[in-house]
């Protein structure tokens, strides 16, 4: 129970600091700060933890590197949410998601579809 309460408090703190960094503090309250902190730590666990080799607050690690990685995930989450507020940002996110999907699904050599063969044949990918 103490871990859950500390998880909520640290998530609120991380969400608040991330909202100060991204200048969205005037638009969100305590509940949004908690959600941004916790979901941002999930984002960090998926994208940043493998890069830095540090766990996040969602894994029960409350060290300084874990707090910084979780803060980075919260900042990424707020940046993505700021991009989704307009149509141009949505298109950019859609193109990035499509590029990541094509990379993940077509880059392994096991994929023999004609589409993936065409993607791998592009001259700037060699």
Pair (13, 54) in one structural domain: yes
Query: Does pLDDT of 5 surpass 80?
Result: yes
From 11-15, 64-68, 99-103, the region with the lowest mean pLDDT = 99-103
Angle at 115 between CA 110 and CA 121, to 5 degrees: 80
Q: Measured between alpha carbons, how far is 57 from 49 in angstroms, rounded to an integer?
A: 11
Pair (106, 61) in one structural domain: no
Query: Does pLDDT of 126 surpass 80?
Result: no
Pair (80, 93) in one structural domain: no
Pair (109, 122) in one structural domain: yes
Pair (73, 104) in one structural domain: no
Q: How many domains does the chain have?
A: 2
Q: Measured between alpha carbons, how far is 20 from 23 in angstroms, rounded to an integer?
A: 5
pLDDT (tens digit, 9 = 90+) per residue, 13-35? 998 999 899 888 777 788 888 88
Helix (H, G, I), strand (E, B) or coil at 60: coil
The pTM of the whole model exceeds 0.75: no
Pair (65, 118) in one structural domain: no
Query: Does pLDDT of 98 surpass 70?
Result: yes
Which range marks the domain in which residue 50 is found? 1-85
Instruction: Summarize the confidence of residues 82-105 as an average pLDDT.
Output: 73
CA dihedral 69, 74, 79, 81 (to 10 degrees): 150
Query: Does pLDDT of 91 surpass 80?
Result: no
């Amino acid at each position: 129970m103490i871990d859950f309460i500390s998880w909520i408090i640290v998530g609120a703190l991380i969400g608040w600091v991330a909202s100060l960094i991204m200048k969205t503090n005037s638009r969100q309250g305590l509940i949004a700060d908690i959600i941004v902190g916790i979901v941002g730590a999930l984002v960090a666990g998926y994208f940043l933890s493998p890069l830095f080799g540090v766990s996040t607050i969602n894994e029960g690690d409350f060290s300084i590197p874990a707090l910084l990685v979780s803060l980075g995930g919260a900042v990424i989450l707020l940046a993505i949410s700021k991009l989704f507020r307009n149509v141009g940002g949505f298109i950019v996110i859609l193109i990035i998601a499509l590029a990541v999907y094509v990379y993940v699904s077509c880059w392994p050599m096991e994929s023999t579809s004609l589409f993936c063969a065409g993607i791998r044949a592009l001259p700037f990918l060699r």
